[in-house]
Amino acid sequence: MKKWLVICFLLFVALPVNALQQLNFKGFIADEANILSEEVKNDLNMTLWDLQKKSGADIAVVTLPSLDGRSVEETALEIGRTYKIGSKEKNNGVVFLTALAERKMRIELGYGLENKIGISSLEAVRDNDILPYYKKSNYQSGIARGTYLLADVVAQAEGVTIKKQGSCPSRISSSSSGSEDNYPWWIWPFAIIMSIFCPRRRRFDYGGFGGFGGGGGFGGSGCSGSW
């Protein structure tokens, strides 16, 4: 009897170590590694909110300082299932996970998107749009570009057209400097004029956000990457 009590105690103590940390989602984004600016988070949230309203699909964007000994695949699956990403009827969720310490990332598809989105499409976004920025430690631009493109991929798969807010960073090659600031000199006066005369961006209403759709059906379909 004492032996079983000791085993149960050890299992109880071990659970918090292996369990996924509680994520602080603000809209569709849990930026636990503090990578994204408030402006970028607002723009991505507005874009992903439009995707959810029109298709029921959710894209959860998560950054972690570390995986704490877990695999990136296991962690992405647990996020999708725990937070019930995607609509309950369609299970059309996506988890876009970035872990800094291990230098790993994962794009995980819900059951409802497995037959609509080819893995090759995800790999193309990973290789051409996300990892080139990550390799230059420009994580914010990689996450922003990856999220905008994943939103486009999901919208196309669901047969809807979404309205994107903010500006998607341009594609870079692995041999380029990786800085989105290498613009010609005349762009800055133009940007200032546009900021004065263009309408202000809409702000994402965190209070009015109803949360994820209640799906959470994930089976391990997706792609991982490292840099």
Of 110-124, 143-157, 187-201, minimum mean pLDDT range: 187-201
What per-residue confidence (pLDDT) applies to 207? 84
Q: Please tell me what DSSP assigns to residue 227.
A: -
Q: What is the mean pLDDT of the chain?
A: 87
DSSP 8-state secondary structure symbol assigned to residue 169: P
Which tens digits make up the pLDDT trace of 98-110? 999 999 999 999 9
Sign of the C-alpha dihedral, residues 160, 166, 172, 178? negative
Domains in the chain, start-ordered, CATH in brackets? Answer: 22-176+219-226 (3.10.310.50)
pLDDT above 50 (res 5)? no
**Phi/psi-derived region of residue 61, left when phi > 0, alpha when psi is between -120 and 50, beta in every other case:** beta
28-70 residue pLDDT tens: 999 999 999 999 999 999 999 999 999 999 999 999 999 999 9
The pLDDT assigned to 194 comes to: 53
